[in-house]
Chain A
């Protein structure tokens, strides 16, 4: 077998410079892409709804939400209730529509004493229905049965 010789290519200099630039850009982009995908994959998606704290009872809490939000909630559902920088896990106990039908009252409980103390100082809160990563959403992992209607 005759071994082919491989002569040196004689391209103009700028071609080599562009080639080097292209190589560097590619490697940088690939690294950035892998980092970006990893970050995005693990990025948490939360569905948050504004709510208004309507009543506080010892160990219990009631909030007002719009009927559209109330549709996404159901009894026994676990979610988070956030005020300012604090978050508290809560379980839906009852969903009661008010007389006007514009707002729905949702009762949660139990809330511990420390949380109750913080909640006392706020009248508005946010209901966080789910907090899952993009990867979990895409492949349907970690979807709690409680979240499903």
Chain B
């Protein structure tokens, strides 16, 4: 097959920059400072760019053709430099391009320019224009945050009655606490001055009953709270994992597992907190505040009013401190995620650390993050002290003044001793309840960050999803076809360009090419672990996008370059994914892959524990077992990514002999650099610079 160029530009992906880029078009060689045209980049692709022109008084006169100089300048130059290796974002990029045509659309007048091959710097600059800016978490709840809170409430629906009972317990306990001082009025004003023992005994009995009831309510509340939080977090976890399972490889390639774990942990808790925080906590706070306020105002409205008037001071203090505190809290959250991510990477690289006898692998970074955490926590402590100080000034000073005022009223006999004692209890409670009310929004805001991270992940859309309705295959011949397939990992950096070929049923294809040329990518496109940006892949003339995942996995089997095992025994590891297999099937598959010999030598044979992720097996052993696992699936199309690179030559030969003896009728596509193995193939495909060539 001869190499071909991309001739179907319409199918290629087009990109819309997420940041504005101004474009100035100069005549080639024009030295004048005034560009011929200016506009904004509307979108661009691998070979052309569309520029939305600015309104001009003069009618636009474009040369029919000719080389132009295009100067692109990103607008948000204030954005912090994320990677020192990338070009300065504020630096304009100059590109030579040809005016292709002028277009008039609803959005305005556009010109299309076709460019020649881009340099690495130009490509990077355009790639960066596609990356969204670092998310700046708002200082106020946004519409999305409210939507997330509503989504959290969906988790509460099955537990509405339990939540209602929990709220009753909380509010009951709150009211009971406020009744204690009221009993004091009777004791101090009636029972003690009059030596009225029956009233005193009644009051004490009432007090004890209140204490007992409150204890029962509190115990019930603690039990129900655990029940609720555990169940809601369970539901949130299940939801999270289901969402994870739907996501494709590209998501996990761009996300650190440690960071995901941290998000999962904080997010599931945030779901419960949101449920508890928004309605029940607000209701409790409101009822409690109302109750205290009514009693305080009835007992001494002047003192209560003074206390209420301190609320704006408290709010101002809260607002000022909260602004710094919130920023600090978010940095702390980010730090926690980074620490978790680094921890995960360090653990994954522990072998590397041992091999190179170094603890420098990511460890300094990790320590730096930990030091940053200390700093952030200390800042939080300082902010908390500052908050406490302002509160002390606003609240405690007022409380001291009120204490003197109440004493004055007591001396004047305008207040009884019981009322005085009760007010001394209630007024600080009133201040506390007001503070809680003032700080409520802030606590919502704090939780919203975790909730946002959780739901961002949960609602991540998989790039590869099953069609609805999907086609189910009852039989498969094993014909694989690529039609004008274009694939890239990075914008404007194609791995496969316009790949078109057919692999007939039962044909054996060897894939060769330099490292990183796209051989494994080609296999992943057949297995639909990725979707091409343009063109399609067909199995038995059915577009893979229309095929059900069940059918695809049934008929297309993959042996990845790195053998992946979950752990457990050899038997369990081989039986993964296969249904209705017998003991003899397992042994036969192991025999075919030359794995039976070493398994039989193990004391527990097929019941041997392979360790977590198969750490107790050698690379060659893992590879042979992975191959046996694939054979047990018995797919029609087998995709083998360097299937024998970890075994010795004799074993490699034996495996391919077994393959030829048992699976000659299957379609087999394998990647290899070994000329001996390539000899087993009917045809050899080579991938070079994104083009697939049939070389024999």
Contacts and interface: CB of A to CB of B under 8 A. Distances in A.
Interface of A: 1-9, 11, 15, 18-19, 22-23, 25-27, 29-30, 32-33, 36-37, 40, 43, 45, 47, 72, 134, 137-140
B538 interface: no
Interface string B81-95: 000000000000000
Interface in B384-441: 416, 419
B169 interface: yes
28 contacts: A2-B243, A2-B459, A4-B151, A4-B236, A4-B458, A6-B157, A6-B158, A6-B235, A6-B239, A7-B235, A8-B158, A9-B231, A11-B227, A19-B162, A19-B224, A22-B223, A26-B172, A27-B165, A29-B213, A30-B168, A32-B213, A33-B176, A33-B213, A43-B202, A47-B194, A47-B196, A137-B185, A139-B299
A47 B175 CA distance: 28
B252 interface: no
Greatest chain B CB density within 10 A among A32, A36, A45, A139 is at A45
* Prevailing SS type, chain B contact patch: helix
Nearest to B169: A26
A36 B154 contact: no
A1 B144 CA distance: 10
Contacts of B231: 9, 11
Interface string B296-326: 0011000000000000000000000000000
Q: Which 6 A-B pairs have the closest CB atoms?
A: A9-B231, A22-B220, A2-B459, A23-B165, A4-B239, A47-B194
Given A1-B151, A3-B154, A9 B209 contact: no
A25 B224 CA distance: 12
B667 to A, nearest CB: 37
Interface of B: 147, 151, 154-155, 157-158, 161-162, 165, 168-169, 172, 175-176, 179, 182, 185-186, 189-190, 194, 196, 199, 202, 206, 209, 213, 216-217, 220, 223-224, 227, 231, 234-236, 238-239, 242-243, 298-299, 416, 419, 458-459
Contacts of B227: 11, 15, 19
Contact of A134 (B154, B186, B234, B458): B186
Interface centre among A8, A22, A40, A47 (most CB of B within 10 A): A22
Contacts of A5: 238-239, 242
Given A4-B151, A5-B242, A33-B213, A45 B235 contact: no
A138 B182 contact: yes
A1 to B, nearest CB: 7
A30 B172 contact: yes
A140 B295 CA distance: 12
Interface centre among A4, A18, A32 (most CB of B within 10 A): A4
Contacts of B168: 26-27, 30
B196 A29 contact: no
Nearest to A8: B158
Contacts of B155: 4, 6
A8 to B, nearest CB: 8
A105 B236 CA distance: 79
A60 to B, nearest CB: 27
A23 B159 CA distance: 12
Nearest to B190: A45
Most buried by B among A18, A19, A138: A138
A137 B459 contact: no
A138 B183 CA distance: 8
Given A9-B158, A22-B220, 7 more contacts: A6-B154, A7-B238, A23-B224, A27-B165, A29-B217, A33-B172, A138-B185
Given A6-B154, A9-B234, A40 B458 contact: no
B19 to A, nearest CB: 26
A40 B189 CA distance: 17
Nearest to B158: A6
Contact of A22 (B165, B189, B243): B165
